[in-house]
Structure 1
Amino acid sequence: MICSMTAFARADRHLEGYSLVWEIKAVNHRYLEVSPRLPDALRALENGVREKCRKALARGKVEVTLRYQQDDSEVSLELNEELVKQLSEVSRRVGDLVQHPGQVNPMEILRHPGVLSTRKLDVELLQNESQSLLDEALDALIDTRRREGEQLGQLIVDRLDGIGTQIDIVKAAIPRIKEAQRERLRTRIQDVIESPDPDRLEQELVMLAQKMDVDEELDRLVTHVSEVRRILKKGGHIGRRLDFLMQELNREANTLASKSVDSETTAAAVELKVLIEQMREQIQNIE
């Protein structure tokens, strides 16, 4: 199983009187960096959020945001009836004292502090619901990372197939290239015979041997490609290992290019470097 580091997930829950929403944004990063953003009423959850993320994720820059909103349409108002009775009685007595009898104004009583109150927030319940909802958001994030990881894996496999094609092209071209080099050497030897210079002949032979010997580079390319395929099949947290193998593949492609004595092998080496760079860019997003 391959996981991408880039993903987004959202989980929401509507409870009586309020709603909770978790949003998790993750991008590629060398290590795991978690940045929780929590409302003041739930700030105590920060350490728990970090711990859950550390258990669920291995790499990535992760922003974890919790939004808490009270639903005004479901706000439950509580009436302090005892206080209302006392205020009503006091109002009537005041009216009698000032000899100004009349009905008590309910709105005036409602404005008095303590007559109306909203239900107190159950912080413990809110924290429990938030943590449970975070688990759902993390599960959704991991599912997204897995799906994107599968796509990245397929893209890398396609590039590996392309590398295999270029290796086959170079291997098939080597006999023809060697024969052309032999003919070129014969021409140079003829020049040496006309103007004998043993040192020059020795230099030409050494240079030709070095230029034509690319078997080691091709073998290493094949080995590295096989290792990348094995790691992809194994899955897990493979991003760093694949990144190292891209460096090794690129090194062999550069060496092959430097040894090229033919336009066909030069073109193959360039194509190898393009394919390797494309893989490297994809691997930057793999966990």
Structure 2
Amino acid sequence: MTAFAAAKGGTSQHSWAWELRSVNAKGLDIRARMPDWIEGLEAALRARLGKALARGSVTLNLRVTREEGEAGQSVNEAALGAVLSALARVEARAKHEGLSLSPTSAADILGLRGVLETSAPEDEAAGLKAALMKDFEPVLEAFLQMRASEGAALAAILGGQLDEIARLTAAATQAAEARRGDMAEALQASLARVMGVAEDADPQRIAQELALIAVKSDITEELDRLRAHVDAARELLDTDGPVGRKLDFLMQEFNREANTLCSKSQNTELTRIGLDLKTVIDQMREQVQNVE
């Protein structure tokens, strides 16, 4: 389910900016970008999001700035060594290929990720982590409220689609009753034709075969299951908590019954209703992918 929230905060020593967003996904995928010098912060935020969410591709961005500017920053010697070695290899290869590269400045190198690190005393980082975790709660609350608002709108859409499936199921029931007489006449005509051209045919065996055909064309069970699926889906929409996966499974069952109804219809009106059912079910299945 899509949602977005952003906020800014700070203390006398630090300022920060949050961005929290999500798009639809079958499972829960959390991607976080934040300072790695605040020990334990990312794990704590992931755990907090994991308790609040069940589905969605979630992106959390946090930018933290020290108010005193460059203080507390140091060069990561290992990262600097790796960058310089890589530059030397690139320059040597370029010279071998006869290429001329523009000179690299110290500012260019310091701007590379991981070369210049922000450090902080252990007690300062711990206090900052606590402040950030506290400040994250209203961001998360705004994010969840947006998801809830979208969820309410989505529930209304799904409810309307369930109403349409129920209406089409009722129409299919009426069409099945209307075709009952035509089916009986067609079977009797078939029996008469077979008996007219096959004098030695066993009437009882032919009657059994025609009865089997009648059973195979009966859609009573499919209609009963469609009504049951509608009731089950409505119960899920009224349930608190994640129901997306259960609804997704129900959509497969809806589609199976609609396919069977079409294959058994032997009637233009029933086939039309079955195709309309499949259209609504496909539309609903797409919306269900947005449900947590």
Pair member with larger Rg: 1
Q: Give the aligned partner of residue 218 of structure 1.
A: 223
Whole-angstrom distance in 2 between the partners of 1:202 and 1:32: 55
In structure 1, stretches of 5+ residues that fail to align are: 78-119
After TM superposition, give the deviation of residue 18 of structure 1 in Å: 4.7
Q: Give the aligned partner of residue 143 of structure 1.
A: 145
1:10-89 matches, within 5 Å, as 10-16=6-12, 18-42=14-38, 44-69=40-65
Whole-angstrom distance in 1 between the partners of 2:54 and 2:136: 17
Q: Give the aligned partner of residue 86 of structure 2.
A: none
After TM superposition, give the deviation of residue 24 of structure 1 in Å: 1.0
* 1:207 equivalent in alignment to 2:213: yes
Task: Tell whether the 8 Å contact from 1:21 to 1:68 is kept in structure 2 after alignment.
Answer: yes
Normalised TM-score (structure 2): 0.74
After TM superposition, give the deviation of residue 43 of structure 1 in Å: 5.2
Whole-angstrom distance in 1 between the partners of 2:62 and 2:49: 14
Q: Give the aligned partner of residue 284 of structure 1.
A: 289
Task: Tell whether the 8 Å contact from 2:191 to 2:206 is kept in structure 1 after alignment.
Answer: no
- Matched residue SS, 2:63: strand
Single out whichever of 7-16 and 249-258 deviates more from structure 2.
Answer: 7-16
Normalised TM-score (structure 1): 0.75
* 1:251 equivalent in alignment to 2:253: no
Task: Tell whether the 8 Å contact from 2:14 to 2:64 is kept in structure 1 after alignment.
Answer: yes
Whole-angstrom distance in 2 between the partners of 1:146 and 1:29: 16
After TM superposition, give the deviation of residue 40 of structure 1 in Å: 4.0
Find the partner of 1:182 among 181, 184, 193.
184
In structure 2, stretches of 5+ residues that fail to align are: 72-119
What fraction of aligned residue pairs are identical, expressed as a percent?
A: 36
Task: Tell whether the 8 Å contact from 1:11 to 1:133 is kept in structure 2 after alignment.
Answer: no
Task: Tell whether the 8 Å contact from 1:22 to 1:133 is kept in structure 2 after alignment.
Answer: no
1:75-154 matches, within 5 Å, as 122-154=124-156
Single out whichever of 179-188 and 141-150 deviates more from structure 2.
Answer: 179-188
After TM superposition, give the deviation of residue 189 of structure 1 in Å: 3.0
What do the CA deviations read for 1:42-75 (whole angstroms, capped 9, x no partner)? Answer: 3541111111111221222211110124569xx7
- Matched residue SS, 1:234: coil
What do the CA deviations read for 1:104-149 (whole angstroms, capped 9, x no partner)? Answer: xxxxxxxxxxxxxxxx995444333321221111111111111111
Task: Tell whether the 8 Å contact from 1:231 to 1:238 is kept in structure 2 after alignment.
Answer: yes
After TM superposition, give the deviation of residue 38 of structure 1 in Å: 0.5
Whole-angstrom distance in 1 between the partners of 2:193 and 2:220: 30
What do the CA deviations read for 1:164-215 (whole angstroms, capped 9, x no partner)? Answer: 111111111122211112222333233234223445554333213321x111
> Runs of 4 or more off by more than 6 Å in structure 1?
none
Residues 54 and 209 of structure 1: CA distance in aligned 2, closer, same or farther (over 3 Å): closer
| Aligned partner letter, 1:220 | R
Residues 124 and 201 of structure 1: CA distance in aligned 2, closer, same or farther (over 3 Å): closer
Whole-angstrom distance in 2 between the partners of 1:236 and 1:167: 29
Whole-angstrom distance in 2 between the partners of 1:195 and 1:40: 87
Whole-angstrom distance in 1 between the partners of 2:277 and 2:177: 20
Task: Tell whether the 8 Å contact from 2:3 to 2:23 is kept in structure 1 after alignment.
Answer: yes
Task: Tell whether the 8 Å contact from 1:192 to 1:201 is kept in structure 2 after alignment.
Answer: no
Whole-angstrom distance in 2 between the partners of 1:191 and 1:53: 71
